[in-house]
């Protein structure tokens, strides 16, 4: 490693590297991206990149965790102090909407993983990223009368309603171009919250 590259490697933290390589993985995918490409995105040599990560797979898994956890990994913190069922449902929706609203990494990377269906990476996402918010959403559902809903299905529905809305938004706006709200984020939060509460048999007001 050259003296310049070594100095550059020392300046870059692991988080810096995750920040700089995530957009490349999101745009090109795992298979089409080489360590040389990733090192170039960081402004360092491949050897300097290997100083932080044993291989491309380790780097990619840490990018996945970093990208997703910073968006939805603090669901429990967000729900602290909220006492009413309606407020907790709305906060769940807000956290999920904010994970994908105007974010150029979360949704593209999730789409790729669901399409490629690499079992190791899907298990990693489930256990290291989605497990905590999933449990927190299930806890919210436990405020409902027993037997109304399966908690795991309820949590999956919350994810599907919010993330799925943004996944379909590029098509929806062509289907109903006159019905595009000025504030899409707030419109989605309001819509999904009301839909969730109505479907749960509680007041949406």
C-alpha span between 91 and 9 (Å, rounded): 40
Residue 141: strand, helix, or coil: helix
Which CATH class, in words, describes the domain spanning 3-53? mainly alpha
Spans of the chain below 50 pLDDT: 1-9, 202-205
pLDDT at 200: 54
pLDDT at 196: 82
Q: Which residues contact 86 (CB under 8 A, 6 or more apart)?
A: 193, 197, 202, 203
**Interval 110-132: pLDDT, tens:** 989 999 999 999 999 999 889 98
What DSSP designation does 145 have?
Answer: P
pLDDT at 172: 85
**Full-model pTM:** 0.79
């Amino acid at each position: 490693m050259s003296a310049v590259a070594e100095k550059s490697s020392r300046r870059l933290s692991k988080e810096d590297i995750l920040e700089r390589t995530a957009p490349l993985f999101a745009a090109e995918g795992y298979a089409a991206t080489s360590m040389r490409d990733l090192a170039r995105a960081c402004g360092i040599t491949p050897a300097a990149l290997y100083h932080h990560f044993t291989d491309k797979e380790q780097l990619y898994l840490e990018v996945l965790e970093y990208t997703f956890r910073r968006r939805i990994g603090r669901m429990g913190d967000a729900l602290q102090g909220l006492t009413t069922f309606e407020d907790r449902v709305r906060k769940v929706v807000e956290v999920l909407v904010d994970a994908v609203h105007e974010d150029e990494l979360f949704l593209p990377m999730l789409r790729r993983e669901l399409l490629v269906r690499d079992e190791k990476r899907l298990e990693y996402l489930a256990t290291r990223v989605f497990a905590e918010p999933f449990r927190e959403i299930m806890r919210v559902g436990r405020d409902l009368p027993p037997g109304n809903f399966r908690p795991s299905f309820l949590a999956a529905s919350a994810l599907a309603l919010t993330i799925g809305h943004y996944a379909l938004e590029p098509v929806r706006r062509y289907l109903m171009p006159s019905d595009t709200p000025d504030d899409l984020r707030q419109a989605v939060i309001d819509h999904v919250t009301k839909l969730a509460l109505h479907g749960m048999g509680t007041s949406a007001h």
